[in-house]
Amino acid sequence: MPQIGQGTLKGMGITLKHLLSKKITRQYPEYKRQMPERSRGMLTVDMDRCIACLQCMRICPDHCISIDQTKRDFDGSGKPKPFAVGFMIDDSRCMYCSLCVEVCPVNCIYHTEEFEVQAYSRLELARQFGERPVDPTVDPKPQVKKKRPVRGGSKGKAAAKKKAAGKEEEAA
Ligand code: SF4
Ligand code: SF4
């Protein structure tokens, strides 16, 4: 029995010591640490610089990016250029691989330091940019046109051109 009493006293002593000592932990979210320089937070896109090339949408392995593309004649030259009327990034799918950032030719899609994201449903995690919202339930990948590979590489391309030229001659 005396041993039990000693143990209790020892434990209370340790508790008291830590109660009065200076705290070495900081409470989140009251305290937020500064993110490292190259950290990857949630993505954002500068729509003023986006040229609607669709490269980020094509390369994304998780089908997070969906772009509603149209053509607009910005400068009145009579030559309409691609324009992203809607742009969606689905945070519920993003794995922060940064492939979209690397592929963007005008550096208009980039990571922020923001990493806190909460929602009651998965669809609320689809962030919309641009003038018109994009339907987050539609998988963007099947809509992206892919070039069909030519069999046989460059030799195959040359053969295909020759074949096409031959057909034109026959028709003439
Ligand atoms: S960081 Fe990766 S997963 Fe996220 S949108 Fe870009 S390409 Fe897709
Ligand atoms: S790669 Fe860049 S410029 Fe092209 S559509 Fe994506 S964000 Fe816009």
| Mean per-residue pLDDT of the chain | 85
User: Span 51-78, mean pLDDT?
Assistant: 93
47 Cβ closer than 6 Å to some ligand 2 atom: no
Name which residue sits closest to atom 2 of ligand 1, judged by CA.
97
For CA atoms 93, 95, 100, 101, the dihedral sign is positive
Tell which residue, 109, 100, 96, has the closest CA to residue 35. Answer: 96
Going by alpha carbons, the residue nearest to atom 3 of ligand 1 is 94
Q: Which of 96, 68, 95 is nearest to 82 (CA)?
A: 68
Predicted local distance difference test score (pLDDT) of residue 86: 96
Can you give the pLDDT at residue 160? 55
What is the model's pTM? 0.72
Ligand 1 lined by 103 (C-beta under 6 Å): no
Which tops the pLDDT comparison, 50 or 7? 50
The DSSP letter of residue 111 is E
Percent of the chain with pLDDT strictly greater than 90: 55
13-57 pLDDT, tens digit per residue, is 999 998 888 888 888 888 888 888 889 999 999 999 999 999 999
Is the model's pLDDT at 172 over the cut of 50? no
> What number of helices (H) and strands (E) belong to the chain?
4, 5
Highest mean pLDDT among 27-41, 82-96, 145-159: 82-96
Whether the CB-CB separation of 125 and 116 falls below 8 Å is answered with no
- CA of 171 from ligand 2 middle (Å) equals 42
Structure tokens at 37: 């320089």
Of residues 166 and 74, more confidently modeled = 74
Atom of ligand 2 lying closest to residue 45 CA: 7
Q: What is the pLDDT of residue 35?
A: 86
d(CA 68, CA 64): 13
Tell me what pLDDT residue 139 has.
86
**pLDDT tens for each residue of 103-135:** 999 999 999 999 888 899 999 999 999 999 999
Nearest ligand, measured from the Cα of 84: 2
Q: In this structure, which residue's CA is closest to atom 8 in ligand 1?
A: 60
Q: Whose CA is nearest to atom 8 of ligand 2?
A: 50
pLDDT above 70 coverage of the chain, percent: 80
Contact 89 CB / ligand 2 (< 6 Å)? no
Band of pLDDT at residue 155, cut at 50, 70 and 90: low
Residue 157 above 70 pLDDT?
no
Q: Residue 92: nearest ligand to its CA?
A: 1
- Ligand 1 neighbour 65 (Cβ under 6 A): yes
Q: What 3-state class would DSSP assign to 124?
A: helix
Question: In angstroms, rounded to a whole number, what is the distance separating the alpha carbons of residues 172 and 151?
Answer: 27
Q: Please choose, from the candidates 41, 143, 139, 53, the residue with its C-alpha nearest in 3D space to the C-alpha of residue 103.
A: 53
Instruction: Give first-to-last CA distance, the chain, whole Å.
Output: 112
Ligand number, closest to the Cα atom of 52: 2
